Amino acid sequence: MKDLKTLTAEAERVRADGMYALRTLTSMDLTSLGENDTDQTIRDLCARAVTPRGHVAAVCVYDKFVPLALNELRGTGVRVATVCNFPHGLPDAAQAVAEASAQVAAGAQEVDVVLPYKRYKAGHRDQAIALLHQVREVCGETVLLKVILETSQLQSLKIIGEASRDAIEAGADFIKTSTGKVPGGATLEVAAVMLDAIREMAPKIKRTLGFKPSGGLKTVADAAGYLYLADNIMGEGWATPQTLRFGASGLLNDVKNHLGL
* DSSP code string of 3-72: -HHHHHHHHTTPPP-HHHHHHHHHTEEEEE--TT--HHHHHHHHHHTEETTEE-SEEEE-GGGHHHHHHH
Catalytic residue among 166, 196, 212, 222: 212
Q: What is the largest CA-CA distance in the chain?
A: 50
E strands, the chain, in order: 28-32, 50-51, 54-55, 58-61, 79-84, 110-114, 144-148, 174-176, 210-212, 246-248
Catalytic residue among 121, 146, 173, 176: 176
- Has 5 been annotated as catalytic? no
- Has 112 been annotated as catalytic? yes
Please tell me the distance from the alpha carbon of residue 35 to that of residue 45, in angstroms, as a whole number.
Answer: 15
Comparing C-alpha atoms, which of 77, 89, 38 is closest to residue 61?
A: 38
Strands 144-148 and 110-114: parallel
- Has 176 been annotated as catalytic? yes
Catalytic residue among 29, 63, 112, 196: 112
- Residues with catalytic roles: 112, 176, 212
